[in-house]
Structure 1
């Protein structure tokens, strides 16, 4: 499976970095210069209205996207054809876009909860870094699914995606979280 936008990165079972332990990351951009993605399964227990004062009446849980620029809010959505500046991840899936237009789409009812996911911060890799991490098996590559992105997710997503990969991955999915002395 090739490394490209739209793929999922699953943390290997023994990853100890607290940002990425049992993380499922949607890779949104993968170029020669670097890569960007968002952690799908680390909800912050906050609503977008808790973080943005002038946000329309719209309830959406915010996820921890990653440890880079945690003072920024990002969004992945299905309305790229209606949102100027949205970057296409794959067919029907987009990242970002004009924030003011986003608020208008919400107010007009053209964008619903199952069309968008919000993130604080992002996960990023420099040139060649992600490829190196794949080669040393820090990450497991998987196909994405809209339900992984737009349905409420938690720590069980990692296990679910691994089980869906089958074979040896379904065995990995059963491994308990290691406790280090």
Structure 2
């Protein structure tokens, strides 16, 4: 992916340079990327809590039981979500995937009876100022990969980083196998 091109709808994967930081071994979906900067959500940081334990609004049971993910270190009290359905004509992240911030709209989605509906809810987000993400890409802090709904809504998030790296081919297989603490190798 060329630096300077929008990465909306792409994944950012830790290239192995971010160990010790919040972003170590993360898989981030870039939801917006333009001249104003970038906005993304970490797909593989479950908080271990359910949405109903954090949001005190009157929520449908299906929403209350949803796992809550940590979308990033910015504004961790802000809730946003990704949703997909059989057909989302106004999808704004990538085909058939939208980003939402409205609690009312989240409740409406939670109350819908579509069997194809998928939803992932986040506290906080990851953000970059204008030019910041491009600078990090030039320093090779991130590896890019096209996003898919299967990756976005993957339930096994513990191994997501390694699985996506392996999809990129043999050059990334070794990186995907490095232990969290290389001194233990």
Structure 1 residue 179 displacement after superposition: 5.4
Deviation per CA, 1:76-105, whole angstroms, max 9, x where unpaired? 1115849xxx86011111101542133123
Q: 1:71 aligns with which of 77, 80, 89?
A: 77
Q: Which runs of 5+ in 2 are unaligned?
A: none
Instruction: Summarize the alignment of residues 7-156 of structure 1 with structure 2, pairs less than 5 Å apart.
Output: 7-53=10-56, 54-58=58-62, 59-79=65-85, 81=88, 88-110=92-114, 115-156=118-159
CA contact (8 A) 1:57 1:107 kept: no
Q: Which TM-score applies when normalising by structure 2?
A: 0.86
* Partner residue in 1 for 2:170: 167
Structure 1 residue 153 displacement after superposition: 3.4
What is the CA–CA distance in structure 1 between the aligned matches of 2:148 and 2:109, rounded to whole Å? 24
SS of residue matched to 2:33? strand
What is the CA–CA distance in structure 1 between the aligned matches of 2:19 and 2:73, rounded to whole Å? 15
> Root-mean-square deviation (CA), in Å?
2.2
What is the CA–CA distance in structure 1 between the aligned matches of 2:93 and 2:135, rounded to whole Å? 22
Segment drifting more, 23-32 vs 93-102: 93-102
Deviation per CA, 1:95-135, whole angstroms, max 9, x where unpaired? 015421331232242477x5110111000000000011011
CA contact (8 A) 2:44 2:160 kept: yes
Q: Which runs of 5+ in 1 are unaligned?
A: none
The number of aligned residues is 176
Residues 87 and 124 (structure 1), Cα distance of their counterparts in 2 relative to 1, 3 Å cut: farther
